[in-house]
Amino acid sequence: MNSQGFAALHARQAIPRGQVPQMPFADFRGSIVDAVAGGQRVAALFGDVPDSTGNVDLYAVLADSSRALVRVGKTTLDSDRFPSLTPDCPPVHLFERELAEQYGLRPEGHPWLKPVRFHASYRPGHDAWDRRPGEHPVIGVTDFFRVEGEEIHEVAVGPIHAGVIEPGHFRFQCHGEQVFHLEISLGYQHRGVERVLVGGPGKRTIHLMEQVSGDTSVGHATAYCQAVEALAGVEPSLRAQVLRGVALELERLANHTGDLGALAGDVGFLPTSSYCGRLRGDFLNLTALLCGSRFGRGMVRPGGVGFDLDAGRIKQCLERLEGAFRDVSSAANLLWNSASVLARFEGTGAISQDTCVALGMVGPAARACGLECDVRRDFPTGIFRFKLVPVSSWITGDVFARAYVRWLEIQRSVAFVKDQLQVFPEGPIRAIVGPLKPDHLVVSLVEGWRGEICHVALTDSQGRFSRYKIVDPSFHNWMGLAMALRDQQISDFPLCNKSFNLSYCGHDL
């Protein structure tokens, strides 16, 4: 059996919920396992409680990049227990933990069934760990993986870290300096985003989207807007799509530049660290030139964009982009020409392509393992349907590769923005978004700077969201960081962590 039982649709094509194939659990499970074995990726796996029976529907969204299609299927569980997919299909391991936590389901045979974000079940009375109803679970109280042995020691870090960064808990099982195993336990940033989206869209929705992960405001806002536009049957003007594309690439430029600087800082190479720290701000200020906010707040709006560009602003944007790019180029090239930097980057935190595929990783971290995946090419939407951004990859899967892929992407994003701003289509920047189609489903994909952002919206009979699923790229990639640390020195953790630079709040939602 293969995923043919699933409905094939284009990213951001809304279909009636009735057209989502309903199948017995065994077929649902088999289809996913076979599809992943055949090279497709699980973009989302989530639950929904559609009616008063209280039974949970499971939806799976598979990304079939060879055909530029997403495949959707569903099953209805008649009990809280089902045979876990994870032993046969590792990429769903975290999705199944999420299902267990949100709906009190028990994927039986899951090797690693622990809470993801430490919140109470969405279905009172159903709890995967038989915790007391009505009480908020205490974060961090769970079974941690432990290596036993006389010379083994455990290092626990966080939730509060040394730097000015987000909170998370890391436990290392070490033998001397050597890390046998790293367990990452998150949830400290959990703000309950998905649940408050139910019943929307409303006046708060777009602002929430911009803060799902605050350094990816444009990415998540674009994914959301594509979803509601598909549900309302509205197409933003070409001009608006160009502006969204430009904002998305500026977001990528700022973050990639900042990451190169931070990586340089973590190996004590201060020149690039200082320059990129400043240059990151130059790219943020370019975004502020567009919309007044360094983080792109207010730029992407349902139906189009909130701000237009005039000729003077475009000229200024191009000049400043040119200057910033010149400085980033020389700052980055210092890295590749410094033996001391390369000695620290090369071979550190390597993951094999097999591991990368087995975990279902996305974005620059996956491309650094030689995987040719990029939503902008594989599932193009908006302006990326008309302008191909070449996929940047490297093969070594180590810190060097993750840094170098960022540098390749910086060059290509700059070329894209320059290209788009030079020939700028006329037209309105925003269209009216009417009521959403009732009882529909849509999948929206965007290549954020960390990788694939997946939003899935389900509407009810009134055209309001009955379920809104957000998958930040970090959700796929945190396990990659854990694997990258195996057999590394614990002192290389900051470097490895920065080379992924994953989102805590995007994961925790």
Which residue, 161 or 418, is less far from another protein as judged by CB? 161
Among 141, 147, 156, 160, binds another protein (CB under 8 A): 160
Nearest to 424, CA basis, from 297, 320, 305: 305
d(CA 332, CA 157): 31
d(CA 332, CA 123): 50
Q: End-to-end CA distance of the chain: give it in Å, rounded.
A: 35
If one asks whether residue 363 binds another protein (CB under 8 A), the answer comes out as no
Cβ within 8 Å of residue 481, ≥6 positions away: 182, 184, 496, 497, 500, 502
Among 104, 236, 245, 298, binds another protein (CB under 8 A): 298
Evaluate whether 369 touches 356 at the Cβ level (below 8 Å).
Answer: yes
Which residue, 106 or 256, is less far from another protein as judged by CB? 256
Evaluate whether 463 touches 204 at the Cβ level (below 8 Å).
Answer: no
If one asks whether residue 301 binds another protein (CB under 8 A), the answer comes out as yes
Evaluate whether 45 touches 71 at the Cβ level (below 8 Å).
Answer: no
Among 46, 59, 307, 407, binds another protein (CB under 8 A): 307
Q: Which residue has the tokens 């949830």?
A: 187
If one asks whether residue 268 binds another protein (CB under 8 A), the answer comes out as no
Evaluate whether 365 touches 451 at the Cβ level (below 8 Å).
Answer: yes
Nearest to 50, CA basis, from 478, 474, 467: 467
CB of 425 to another protein, least distance (A): 16
CB of 258 to another protein, least distance (A): 8
If one asks whether residue 260 binds another protein (CB under 8 A), the answer comes out as no
Cite the beta strand spans of 25-168 per DSSP E.
41-48, 57-64, 69-76, 81-83, 106-108, 152-157
Residues 167-206 that bind another protein (CB under 8 A): 167, 187-193, 195-196, 200-205
Q: What is the three-state SS of 417-453?
A: HHHHHHCCCCCCCECCCCCCCCCEEEEEEEEECCEEE
- Of the ranges 45-53, 95-103, 113-121, 391-399, which one interacts with another protein (CB under 8 A)? 113-121
Question: In this structure, what are the phi and psi dihedrals at residue 447, rounded to the nearest 5 degrees?
Answer: -85, 90
If one asks whether residue 30 binds another protein (CB under 8 A), the answer comes out as no
If one asks whether residue 434 binds another protein (CB under 8 A), the answer comes out as yes
Among 292, 322, 372, 388, binds another protein (CB under 8 A): 292
Residues 443-502 that bind another protein (CB under 8 A): none
If one asks whether residue 134 binds another protein (CB under 8 A), the answer comes out as no
Among 111, 164, 422, 423, binds another protein (CB under 8 A): 164
Among 264, 321, 350, 429, binds another protein (CB under 8 A): 429
Size of the site for another protein (CB under 8 A): 79
Which residue, 234 or 358, is less far from another protein as judged by CB? 234
- Of the ranges 16-24, 123-131, 149-157, 330-338, which one interacts with another protein (CB under 8 A)? 330-338
Among 50, 159, 370, 494, binds another protein (CB under 8 A): 159
Quick one: which H or E segment has residue 248?
A: helix 238-266
Among 5, 73, 219, 303, binds another protein (CB under 8 A): 303
CB of 385 to another protein, least distance (A): 24
- Class of residue 338 by CB neighbours under 10 A (exposed 0-12, middle 13-18, buried 19+): middle
CB of 393 to another protein, least distance (A): 26
Residues 371-410, mask of contacts with another protein (x by CB under 8 A): ----------------------------------------
If one asks whether residue 271 binds another protein (CB under 8 A), the answer comes out as yes
Which residue, 191 or 377, is less far from another protein as judged by CB? 191
If one asks whether residue 119 binds another protein (CB under 8 A), the answer comes out as yes
- Of the ranges 26-34, 149-157, 295-303, 414-422, which one interacts with another protein (CB under 8 A)? 295-303
Which residue, 31 or 102, is less far from another protein as judged by CB? 102
If one asks whether residue 503 binds another protein (CB under 8 A), the answer comes out as yes
If one asks whether residue 131 binds another protein (CB under 8 A), the answer comes out as no
Q: Which amino acid is at 111?
A: P
Neighbours of 490 (CB within 10 A): 16
Distances, alpha carbon 377 to alpha carbons 78, 386, 445, in Å: 39, 10, 11
Among 349, 400, 504, 507, binds another protein (CB under 8 A): 504
Which residue, 209 or 483, is less far from another protein as judged by CB? 209
Which residue, 296 or 382, is less far from another protein as judged by CB? 296
Neighbours of 195 (CB within 10 A): 14
Q: Which residues pair with 22 in a beta bridge?
A: 74
Among 27, 34, 88, 327, binds another protein (CB under 8 A): 327
Nearest to 312, CA basis, from 421, 456, 447, 158: 421
> Helix, strand, or coil here: 108?
strand
Q: Dig out the tokens for 464 from the structure.
A: 């309001």
CB of 71 to another protein, least distance (A): 29
CA angle (132 as vertex; 169, 82 as ends), nearest 5: 80
If one asks whether residue 507 binds another protein (CB under 8 A), the answer comes out as no
If one asks whether residue 432 binds another protein (CB under 8 A), the answer comes out as yes
d(CA 34, CA 206): 37
Which residue, 111 or 134, is less far from another protein as judged by CB? 134
- Of the ranges 173-181, 208-216, 353-361, 492-500, which one interacts with another protein (CB under 8 A)? 208-216
